[in-house]
């Protein structure tokens, strides 16, 4: 283990992972950081989610320096959980055990690289991965969707579910079939408009509509999370233009009428389309 002085001054490229592990250990050790010493696996869950999404944002922005920083923050979460696990009295493991398990799994699930499988295309690789995973987890005789997407946000889980069932042929023959289903679900949503917001059918039908839309994204090769993020950004951009337009007329958002907002929105769209 590195000393405090070595951790401060080590600049050897090949030793930086070792340095990061030593720094994390020092932060948790007696006399280290009070905040770090108080953390648990459970308390760090929000941090793990936040760092993952911040990293995704840097990737989408193609901001390489920021991406490097955010990937470091994601790595910190792995090191933190590994350090906590190493301190456990029962079922203890450390960063080396994590790396070992990962390497073993990658080798097992890539027999076309490390074994004798003759799979050569992406679809075959993914099907092979899924078959090996089900066999490893002894779930060959369990429900096909068992544990599918557990822990994922609902939008991403829906995408994973639709992708998985499509692998066994549970899918529409063409895009038009999904579009027709979306129209059907839209009609069913419309039929709930006279119901109170608390009626269970309202949430159910809106959920069905969202699920079908995710399915169409999957068929078109579009990541629904990426598509929704782009829609969010577009809306925010156009609404900012709307607000600027109204301010130029001496109208605040609070005082603007629905008609004035709609007119400013249409001008924002026209300006952006130019």
**Whether the model pTM is above 0.75:** no
Angle at which helices 95-108 and 64-87 cross, to 10°: 110
Most confident of 55-64, 115-124, 240-249: 240-249
Q: Would 4-106 and 143-222 be classified into the same CATH topology?
A: yes
SS3 category, 256: coil
CATH architecture label of 143-222: Orthogonal Bundle (1.10)
Domain ranges of the chain: 4-106, 109-142, 143-222, 226-273
| SS3 labels along 185-227 | HHHHHHCCCCCCCCCHHHHHHHHHHHHHHHHHHHHCCCCHHHH
- Return mean pLDDT, the chain: 93
Asked if residues 151 and 144 have their Cβ atoms less than 8 Å apart, the reply is no
pLDDT in tens, 224-259: 988 998 999 999 999 999 999 999 999 999 999 999
What average pLDDT does the segment 62-70 reach? 96
Distance, CA of 233 to CA of 63 (rounded, Å): 17
CATH architecture of the domain 4-106 equals Orthogonal Bundle (1.10)
- For the chain, how long is the longest CA-to-CA vector? 72
Q: Is the pLDDT of residue 27 over 80?
A: yes
Neighbours of 268 (CB within 10 A): 19
Contact 95, 82 (CB under 8 A): yes
Binning pLDDT at 50, 70 and 90, where does residue 138 land? confident
């Amino acid at each position: 283990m590195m000393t405090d002085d070595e951790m401060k001054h080590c600049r050897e490229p090949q030793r930086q992972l070792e340095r990061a592990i030593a720094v994390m250990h020092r932060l948790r050790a007696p006399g280290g950081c009070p905040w770090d010493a108080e953390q648990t696996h459970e308390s760090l869950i929000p941090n793990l989610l936040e760092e993952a999404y911040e990293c995704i944002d840097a990737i989408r922005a193609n901001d390489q320096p920021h991406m490097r920083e955010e990937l470091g923050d994601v790595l910190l979460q792995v090191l933190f959980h590994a350090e906590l696990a190493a301190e456990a009295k029962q079922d203890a493991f450390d960063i080396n055990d994590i790396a070992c398990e990962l390497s073993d799994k990658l080798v097992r699930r890539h027999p076309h690289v490390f074994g004798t499988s003759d799979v050569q295309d992406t679809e075959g690789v993914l099907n092979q991965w899924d078959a090996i995973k089900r066999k490893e987890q002894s779930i060959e005789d369990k429900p096909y969707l068992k544990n599918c997407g557990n822990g994922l946000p609902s939008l991403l889980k829906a995408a994973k579910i639709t992708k998985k069932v499509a692998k066994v042929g549970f899918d529409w023959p063409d895009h038009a079939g999904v579009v027709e289903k979306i129209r059907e679900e839209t009609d069913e949503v419309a039929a709930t408009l006279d119901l109170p917001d608390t009626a269970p059918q309202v949430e159910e039908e809106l959920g069905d509509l969202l699920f079908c839309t995710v399915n169409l994204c999957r068929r078109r090769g579009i990541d629904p999370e990426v598509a929704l993020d782009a829609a969010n950004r577009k809306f925010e951009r156009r609404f900012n233009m709307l607000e600027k337009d109204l301010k130029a007329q001496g109208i605040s958002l609070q005082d603007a009428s629905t008609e004035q907002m709609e007119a400013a929105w249409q001008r924002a769209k026209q300006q952006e389309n130019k």
